[in-house]
Chains A and B, each alone.
Chain A
Amino acid sequence: MTDSKYFTTTKKGEIFELKAELNSDKKEKKKEAVKKVIASMTVGKDVSALFPDVVNCMQTDNLELKKLVYLYLMNYAKSQPDMAIMAVNTFVKDCEDPNPLIRALAVRTMGCIRVDKITEYLCEPLRKCLKDEDPYVRKTAAVCVAKLHDINAQLVEDQGFLDTLKDLISDSNPMVVANAVAALSEIAESHPSSNLLDLNPQSINKLLTALNECTEWGQIFILDCLANYTPKDDREAQSICERVTPRLSHANSAVVLSAVKVLMKFMEMLSKDLDYYGTLLKKLAPPLVTLLSAEPELQYVALRNINLIVQKRPEVLKHEMKVFFVKYNDPIYVKLEKLDIMIRLASQANIAQVLAELKEYATEVDVDFVRKAVRAIGRCAIKVEQSAERCVSTLLDLIQTKVNYVVQEAIVVIKDIFRKYPNKYESVIATLCENLDSLDEPEARAAMIWIVGEYAERIDNADELLESFLEGFHDESTQVQLQLLTAIVKLFLKKPTETQELVQQVLSLATQDSDNPDLRDRGYIYWRLLSTDPVAAKEVVLAEKPLISEETDLIEPTLLDELICYIGTLASVYHKPPSAFVEGGRGVVHKSLPPRTASSESTESPETAPAGAPPGEQLDTVPTQGDLLGDLLNLDLGPPVSGPPLATSAVQMGAVDLLGGGLDSLMGDEPEGIGAPSFVAPPAAAVPANLGAPMGSGLSDLFDLTSGVGTLSGSYVAPKAVWLPAMKAKGLEISGTFTRQAGSISMDLQLTNKALQVMTDFAIQFNRNSFGLAPAAPLQVHAPLSPTQTVEISLPLSTAGSVMKTEPLNSLQVAVKNNIDVFYFSTLYPLHILFVEDGKMDRQVFLATWKDIPNENEAQFQIRDCPLNAEAVSSRLQSSSIFTVARRNVEGQDMLYQSLKLTNGIWVLAELRIQPGNPSFTLSLKCRAPEVSQHVYQAYETILKN
């Protein structure tokens, strides 16, 4: 007799039959019937029609039957709220039952019935249960408070349940304490400002006592709660650490990781000279390694966290390299994470082993993994200088395998090695050149071209090699085209005599035959540089390149510190702070590591040791991950700082015809050249009249200014919102919004004085932000602001401020000062204020760019409930500088292809699919900086729905 029989009832008359059985006099038949109902419910059948019949079975002394009915009630009460009321009396009665199991069950179930009317009746029984003599009932009731709070927060506060819950932290039973902590933590999540978990040394002590005695799950809640506490000094931190370390030997990996979080955080406060600090470091390694022998899912989460831990404290696992060696039957998600950590742990001591492993991986089957392994070899070379030579020879071995993707990956990383160790490994260039023909991925082609250009003087047939690429110039991706242009210019500057024709050819291809503005811009820059001031050209193009940093994907130190506080959470898996992905940003508090206390370390003042990291460590690497600016000139144009002393070996310059006038100045005699420069201007068709304008004025105005019809009308302006409430700013209330009109951005502010004194001396400042927004003029409030007075100000903004990637991307932190104090607030700006008016892309360029941007960068969104048709959409978006480049009708759907450009030059390409009669649109965005897509989508939403 198995339960599968419950699934086999015939459809016809099923409900009717069940109804009859439910109303049967026989207990056993009733129970069987309820079981059938539950079975149907679990597979998604609708059995809500049986509600009154099932509820009738509730009054029973058979516990199993009661439980089953409760299960049913929880599921259907929402759809039958009136019926659910019928059950209330039984619940209230059950809460008084002499059997604690039934009392607990009743209060637990009531909390799960998410019907407003029921919650009123719940309060009294809940109050009793919270004070019940039986701890089993109390601990169940504690959870119920959290449930009730989720349904009706106000009610919970009004009824004083929060205080009762706080009292339970001091309960004598550890399980009750753990549940109270769990419930309070959950409630606190939605009330970030409330001081629900007001921890002090006494309550910490209670938690630590309960920690030893409660269940594993309770331990997790308590540890996570402890992690939010900031000990008052290093002694307290140490004593908490001592009591937490035994948890590292727990069989439950979640307990272990939560304990690691507490220790990693509190260690921050301990002096590194302390013996205990060393002991603690040693204790951390074994449990972390043990996590790696667990199930693959656990391993994955552990590895993501270990990745953070080794960035923060590499010493913890520096001797454990081998446990990260990849086993061939590890799931791919585990393999990739292990590889990442191997590189982080690579050092001179273990590099030989690591390289041998990586070489092994490079012959595996999985393409993604192999590629990453090859890249890893390159990263090792850059990280551990002593190993560079061995890495290069390993890469050469791999190139010999002729496996296409291995060769391409290897060439990409060798380029980086050349940049890190210039003039050291050029002997391998010949081998690389042999593989020229097999390269079909843009990144590999671009890397190869860069190498040829960079070392043009040593490659005899550099001109032939580059020329061979030139043949299919227009079929190449932008990346390759840009690289080719630069490489040929480099070649020309190095061997001017033989390559004149080539450089002329590429310049004309780039400027006249190309629709890509980036390419044209760069072509013009070179052309003009070469014709007006070849000395400068040499200084710019052949400038010494800044060294690339050792590790390319380090997490930025402040973010890392924040993430350390989130060890074991989803944030640690995604390596993003919760504010970046938690729904609606509800209740997100930024956490930070505690500052090291001065009591034992008087030499180190708090300013010099922010977040405890030694200042030296923070400086030596530049994380490049957050580089949003999309480096217009790619990697070959370093900042034109202090170029190398000019080579004086420029010979036979006179013979150069086309660029002759300018090139003469390479000799350095006459900076002005000989009379009028004989620069041959490109055909006028391609270059408007303002060619002579100074270069700095923005090459963008070379193109297509007229296409932005109607852009002057200005983009959508959101209504003003309160940014700084008066109670937080001693009476000053600020509300505002952002506008963009005729190409200028401004912040429209409304300042209201709600204090009793007059306000004067206003000033405003922005923190560094993603797009360099900064006030273009001081904040001008002409007259003093008297009480109750309001003033409206429009503050012009520029995008020339300093740039730092913020999280979220569009957040802006603002400081406002007046005669009373300085106030801080932060706000989000809509991205469309950054859409520039010349953001219309040429159709061809659009097509090429769309293909060129890798598919991983594509993001898809749904815009729901938008009643507009394609024309209306197009014109509305255009007024906010989102331009429709082309429109197509495919199978009755309108496809709009749109482009927009941000103030920092990032292009975003969009495909908007509109089905007539369907108010939901599908928006696909492609952008080289995919981080912006989400915000662009929001801009679409805002513009279309207002």
Chain B
Amino acid sequence: MSLGEYEKHWKSVVSQSVCDYFFEAQEKAADVENVPPVISTPHHYLISIYRDKLFFVSVIQTEVPPLFVIEFLHRVADTFQDYFGECSEAAIKDNVVIVYELLEEMLDNGFPLATESNILKELIKPPTILRSVVNSITGSSNVGDTLPTGQLSNIPWRRAGVKYTNNEAYFDVVEEIDAIIDKSGSTVFAEIQGVIDACIKLSGMPDLSLSFMNPRLLDDVSFHPCIRFKRWESERVLSFIPPDGNFRLISYRVSSQNLVAIPVYVKHSISFKENSSCGRFDITIGPKQNMGKTIEAITVTVHMPKVVLNMNLTPTQGSYTFDPVTKVLTWDVGKITPQKLPSLKGLVNLQSGAPKPEENPSLNIQFKIQQLAISGLKVNRLDMYGEKYKPFKGVKYVTKAGKFQVRT
């Protein structure tokens, strides 16, 4: 496996030259995001992911499920993120020995070993400024010398002996709306991708039950391994002993069209005149099905056609930028006040003599609504068993735009 220019071998050593095939594919794909994730070379297969502007490439010699490899690579990136606060070339370079130690703990002979952050942190302590200072004074090490307790128990995701003075359990219900809206404003496709992320800081071995007001909404779910599937099947209650710290409890999908509300609408008119070097651009955003909440942090991104040289626009609120190289127009709108709907209009300058663009640009909308799960999902209650103390509990809801695209 190689990280940019870092490599680690688990079985026999594979020559670095195999990466040339990858670089070749990378060159061929105009955009880094279009590099195919599975590439075959005469003797190996290269499976890669692209994350945080880094490629993680693994070299495969025998038949291995590609999803297995891709999932693992994402897990490696997650771990770096978790350990170093960011997954970047600089972070990896600064911590190269830890990276090497981590990789060694995560994989053995092609078999994943410890990939749970809870366990890894017991084996290898994450770097902190304080710790490295202490270490260099006392000569102690940042490698644990006892067997991680979770490794072999029935709950491998939780370490033993967790202690907190403030016991807290917080849940974030985050829903993203993926949608394609056609020219006329009707919904071609819409679904909600939801997750419940948890931040659990509870002492001992708490056993939690989370129930919902309307569990029927959740018919397509993916669970963290800690959830007892049988309980869910029979009672529609999430029952689990949580890992310590931050983790994703469930992810779910709501697709039935009538349940997916579309909180904004966009009025648009983008036109290019035949045989003229200019066009008109006019978009307005307004609220729709927003359940009475404020829609904020709106941004509109548009990939304009190649022949567009520049744009001369006036926003009624917020600010816009147009990058003449990438042809990307970004309008940072802010929030919608229904009394005065935000709009952006003006002229588009085209390359003179070029034919009028065929394709109409799609509008990519981002927004956020606090205190609302657009699907209507509501947590009913959280109960804790197995420990005596009373924890602080909290649930937060937020709805965002996912891949939200308006065709023009």
Binding site for B on A (CB under 8 A): 1-4, 6-7, 27-28, 31, 35, 38-39, 42-44, 62-65, 67-68, 71, 75, 78, 99-101, 108, 111-112, 114, 134-136, 140, 143-144, 146-147, 150, 173, 175, 179, 182, 186, 189, 213, 215-217, 220-221, 224, 246, 249-254, 256-258, 286-287, 289-290, 293, 295-298, 300-302, 322-323, 325, 327-329, 331-333, 353, 356-357, 360, 363-365, 401, 403, 568-571, 573-574, 578, 581-583
A568 proximity list for chain B (CB < 8 A)? 65-68
Are A293 and B253 in contact, CB atoms less than 8 angstroms apart? yes
B120 → chain A, closest Cβ, in Å?
A: 13
Contacts of A6 in B (CB 8 A): 96-97
* Docked-complex contact B143 and A136, CB < 8 angstroms: no
- B37 CB contacts on chain A under 8 angstroms: 296-297, 300-301, 333
Cβ proximity bits B314-344 to A, threshold 8 Å, 1 near / 0 not: 0000000000000000000000000000000
Give every chain B residue within 8 A of A78 (Cβ-Cβ): 13
* Contacting pair B152 A357 (CB below 8 A): no
Q: Does B258 contact A (CB under 8 A)?
A: no
Output the least CB separation between B365 and chain A (Å). Answer: 12
Give the chain A neighbours of B68 by CB distance below 8 A.
Answer: 217, 220, 254, 568
Contact of B40 among A39, A365, A574 (CB under 8 A): A574
Residues of B within 8 A of A363 (CB): 358-360
Given the known A-B contacts A327-B405, A574-B40, are A27 and B49 also in contact in the complex, defined by CB atoms under 8 Å? no
Given contacts A217-B115, A329-B403, 4 further A-B contacts (CB under 8 A): A71-B101, A186-B110, A286-B253, A323-B189
Q: A38 and B100: CB pair below 8 A?
A: yes
Smallest Cβ-Cβ distance to B125: which chain A residue: A64
Q: Are B156 and A365 in contact (CB under 8 A)?
A: no
Expressed in whole angstroms, the minimum distance between the Cβ of B379 and any Cβ of chain A is: 19
Question: Interface digits, B54-86 against A, CB 8 Å rule (1 contact, 0 not)?
Answer: 000000111111111011101000000000000
Contact of B221 among A249, A302, A332 (CB under 8 A): A249
State whether B109 touches A39 (Cβ < 8 A). Answer: no
- Interfacial chain B residues near A186, Cβ < 8 Å: 62, 110
* Residues of chain B with a CB closer than 8 A to A108's CB: 108
Question: Which residues does chain A contribute within 8 Å of B360, judged by CB atoms?
Answer: 363
Q: Are A65 and B223 in contact (CB under 8 A)?
A: no
- Interface residue? B193 (CB, 8 A): yes
Whether A100 contacts B63 in the complex (CB less than 8 A), given A249-B221, A249-B229, A573-B38, comes out as no
Least CB distance, B280 to chain A, in whole angstroms:
19
**CB within 8 Å for A296 and B5 given contacts A250-B223, A289-B253, A401-B358:** no
B139 touches A301 (CB 8 A): no
Decide if the interface of chain B is mainly helix, strand, loop or mixed. Answer: mixed
The distance in angstroms between the C-alpha atoms of A140 and B94, with both chains bound, is 30
Chain B residues whose C-beta falls within 8 Å of the C-beta of A134 in the assembled complex: 147
Q: Is B154 an interface residue (CB 8 A)?
A: yes
Interface pair A357/B97, CB less than 8 Å apart:
no
Chain A residues lying within 8 Å of B193, measured Cβ to Cβ, are 293
Most buried by A among B40, B45, B108, B248: B108
B residues with CB within 8 A of A: 5-13, 16, 29, 31, 33-34, 36-38, 40, 43, 45, 48-51, 60-68, 70-72, 74, 93-98, 100-101, 104, 108-112, 115, 129, 132-133, 136, 139, 141-147, 151-152, 154, 156, 178, 180, 182, 188-189, 191, 193, 219-225, 229, 233, 248, 250-251, 253, 255, 303, 305-306, 358-360, 362, 364, 403, 405, 407
Main secondary structure of the interface of A (DSSP, over half): helix
B25 to chain A, nearest CB (A): 11
What separation, in Å, do the CA atoms of A213 and B189 have in the docked complex? 38
* A327 touching B403, Cβ below 8 Å: yes
If A136-B147, A327-B403, A329-B364 touch, does A1 touch B136 (CB 8 Å cutoff)?
Answer: yes
Name the contact of B152 in the complex, choosing from A173, A331, A573, A578 (C-beta under 8 A).
Answer: A173
- Assess whether A179 is in contact with B359, with CB atoms less than 8 Å apart: no
Cβ of B225 and Cβ of A251 under 8 Å apart? yes
Chain B's nearest CB lies how many Å from the CB of A91?
Answer: 16
Residue of A nearest to B66 (CB): A301
Distance in Å: Cβ of A303 to nearest Cβ of chain B? 11
Whether A2 pairs with B94 at a CB distance below 8 angstroms is yes
B111 touches A328 (CB 8 A): no
10 closest residue pairs by CB, A with B: A64-B143, A2-B94, A286-B220, A297-B37, A64-B141, A254-B67, A217-B112, A63-B145, A254-B68, A246-B229
Contact B251 A136 (CB under 8 A): no
Assembled-state Cα–Cα distance A91/B364 (Å): 59
Smallest beta-carbon distance A228→chain B, Å? 13
- The verdict on A360 contacting B67 (CB below 8 Å), with A63-B145, A111-B109, A573-B38 known, is no
Contact A135 B152 (CB under 8 A): yes
The residue on B at minimum CB distance from A293 is B193
CB neighbours (8 Å) of A583 from chain B are 43, 61
Q: Tell me the nearest residue of chain B to A406, going by C-beta.
A: B358
Q: A108-B108, A332-B34 are in contact. Are A293 and B178 (CB under 8 A)?
A: yes
Assuming A179-B111, A297-B37, is B12 touching A114 (CB within 8 A)?
yes
- Docked pose: A68 CA to B99 CA in angstroms: 12
Say whether, besides A6-B97, A258-B65, A569-B63, A290 and B220 are in contact (CB < 8 Å): yes
B222 with A250: CB separation less than 8 A: yes
B74 touches A569 (CB 8 A): no
Q: Are B115 and A42 in contact, CB atoms less than 8 angstroms apart?
A: no
Kindly list chain A residues whose C-beta atoms are within 8 Å of the C-beta of B146: 99, 101
Please measure, in the bound complex, the distance between the C-alpha atom of A584 and the C-alpha atom of B112, giving whole angstroms: 27
Nearest CB to that of B36 among chain A residues? A333
Q: Are B95 and A3 in contact (CB under 8 A)?
A: yes
> Chain B residues with Cβ under 8 A from A42's Cβ?
6-8, 96, 100
Residues A581 and B358 in contact in the complex (CB < 8 Å), given A28-B136, A143-B111, A297-B49: no
A288, chain B: closest CB distance, angstroms? 10
Q: Which of A68, A101, A569 contacts B97 (CB 8 A)?
A: A68
Distance between B398 CB and nearest chain A CB, rounded to angstroms: 18
- Cβ B220 vs Cβ A4 within 8 A: no
> Within the assembled complex, what's the spacing in Å between the Cα atoms of A35 and B135?
14
State whether A39 and B96 are in contact (beta carbons under 8 Å apart), knowing that A249-B229, A296-B33, A568-B65 are contacts in the complex: yes
